Amino acid sequence: MLRDHFKKREDPYAGADILSSARLAGALRLLGAVLACAMLPLAPPTAAVGPVGWFLAGAIIVVSQISAIRTALAPHRVSHGELLAYSYATLVGIGGMEWLAGGRSSPYHQIFLLTALYVATAHPPRVFAFYTPAFVAAVAAPFFYGPWDGRALGDAALQVVITLGLAMVASVLMQGVRDQRVQMREEGAADRRAAETDSLTALGNRRALMTDLERRAREATLERPLMLTLFDLDGFKAYNDAFGHPAGDAVLALLAQRLRHALGSDGRAYRMGGDEFCVLASVSHARALELVEAAAEALSEEGDGFAIGASRGTALLPADTPDPHQALRVADTRMYARKNLRRTSAGRQSTDVLLSVLSEADPLSGAQLGDVAEMCVAVGRELGVDDAELPHLRSAGALHDIGKLAIPDAILSKPGPLTEDEWAFVRRHTAIGERILRSAPALASVAPIVRSVHERFDGGGYPDAIAGEQIPLASRIVAVCDAFQAMVSDRPYRTAMSAEGALAELRACAGTQFDPMVVDAFARGLRDGRWTAAASAAPSAWTPRRAS
């Protein structure tokens, strides 16, 4: 065990408390100076050089007090090396007082105990081992320049044994304390690393990101900004659902490793949770663009039946904002704007495909569906629908009758009234439309809107018989626009109504079949001429399918 304490360490003072050591050194030297002053009347410093000894003794005591006050009042300015030097100087000072008073017969040598115990507790054992010969030499010095006898020799030997024994015990115990401090510090650092590390990917987590972001934001400049880029994986959920969570975790770990390698030493990568990643880098504007592209490429993967990409949003500090939390919001907003743009594009493509199918079934229906879709968007804007939801509303307006592809033409084009069985068949088309749209991931958010298009505001609709605000607002909008378009269009079983007559019918059914708020918004738009073209379209321009 002692060998462990005396072995060479990379940092012999690891775990030491320099401030406490300095304060203790100052207190012990002040105590030594007070003891020396108390001993002056008992052992005057005149034996060696006469009255001059008073001056020399006073100088030793004053210098000791000055160094003691410095270390006690400004411990942060004192190093371990300086404290050790003071300890050697104290040995010389005590030895000098002993010499001035006549040697071993004076009591000053008792103060040696304070210096030995201090060095043993404030410094590592191997440093104290080098100090020991100096201590022994200071105790033995009077035997070379003054008279001594066997009793003095025995007293000196006993002092050395007791002092060094106590000091050695204190040194070993204090080294154990320092080792415990180092261990606790290392365990604390390990715990902090674990708390700031994502267990799956070994990247930094959100806590690590916020710590680094707040620290590095203070150092960012316009010439060398701090780039914050958020990434959200596209297609990962479909991969996870298709191949299972273990495979999903393996892909996340692979992509994280690629991301770390792509950044190199230029930046640090983080996993925010789920399939969200982040990159932080202090680079030039040109290099920032390269890093973002490299990171996006690293977070992409393709294989049989799947494709994973990444939407991204970037904020530069301090150019966009100097505030770290605001920068996160800016990057997040930009990332989801890009992600929604991708979704909208994919949804538009899917909508176009399904509209092509409808046009093949009824070549003249495309214009009518387009009019309904645009009226839905206009009414949505009138009602303050969020811009991000308008593409879904447009698709629902265009595809609300997609389920009628499963209904025979003989029923849809029947000139007379439908039988109850035929109506039951027709009423199935919203649920069929929902299933069709759910099969296209880009239109999955449109599916519940289509399902509820033929619900009534009073709860008498189908397929779920829900009422009022239980019906999605988008469904209530499509219901009004579709009904208006149907009324101003020719049907096999009746001629078209005028726009004024159709609007009157909408108002008459507000509160029962239709949402009054939506009807009012539609009427305002019609009055202001925002969809006059759709309302006044020539009834003979198409042969519409049966409205329901």
Q: How confident is the model at residue 459 (pLDDT cuts 50, 70, 90)?
A: very high
pLDDT attached to residue 136: 92
Q: In the sheet where 276-282 sits, what is the strand order?
A: 267-273, 276-282, 226-234, 306-317, 301-303
User: Within 13 A of 402's CA, how many CA atoms are on the CB side?
Assistant: 30
Under a CB-based contact definition with an 8 Å cutoff, are residues 391 and 344 in contact? Answer: yes
Statement: residue 389 has pLDDT above 70: yes
Under a CB-based contact definition with an 8 Å cutoff, are residues 282 and 219 in contact? Answer: yes
Domain boundaries, the chain: 2-192, 206-339, 362-541
CATH of domain 206-339: 3.30.70.270
Token readout for 268 is 């640090």
Statement: residue 345 has pLDDT above 60: no
365 or 416, which is more confident? 416
- Give the H or E element holding residue 182: helix 150-195
Statement: residue 261 has pLDDT above 90: yes
Statement: residue 545 has pLDDT above 50: no
Alpha helices in 488-540 (DSSP H): 499-509, 516-527, 532-535
Q: Indicate the pTM of the whole model.
A: 0.43
Summarize the confidence of residues 419-432 as an average pLDDT.
78
Q: What is the pLDDT of residues 184-214, one digit of tens each?
A: 887 776 767 767 888 899 898 988 999 999 9
Statement: residue 29 has pLDDT above 90: no
pLDDT attached to residue 538: 34
Q: How confident is the model at residue 409 (pLDDT cuts 50, 70, 90)?
A: low
- Give the H or E element holding residue 31: helix 18-39
CA 68 and chain centroid, separation: 49
Q: What is the pLDDT of residues 68-127, one digit of tens each?
A: 888 888 888 888 888 999 999 999 999 999 999 988 888 998 898 889 989 988 888 888
For the ranges 222-231, 240-249, 293-302, 348-357, which has the lowest average pLDDT?
A: 348-357
What distances in angstroms separate CA 391 from CA 339, 395, 455, one per listed residue? Answer: 14, 6, 22
pLDDT attached to residue 270: 94
pLDDT attached to residue 364: 45
User: Average pLDDT, whole number, for the chain?
Assistant: 82
Which CATH class name applies to 362-541? Answer: mainly alpha
- DSSP state for residue 546 in the 8-state scheme: P
440 or 107, which is more confident? 107
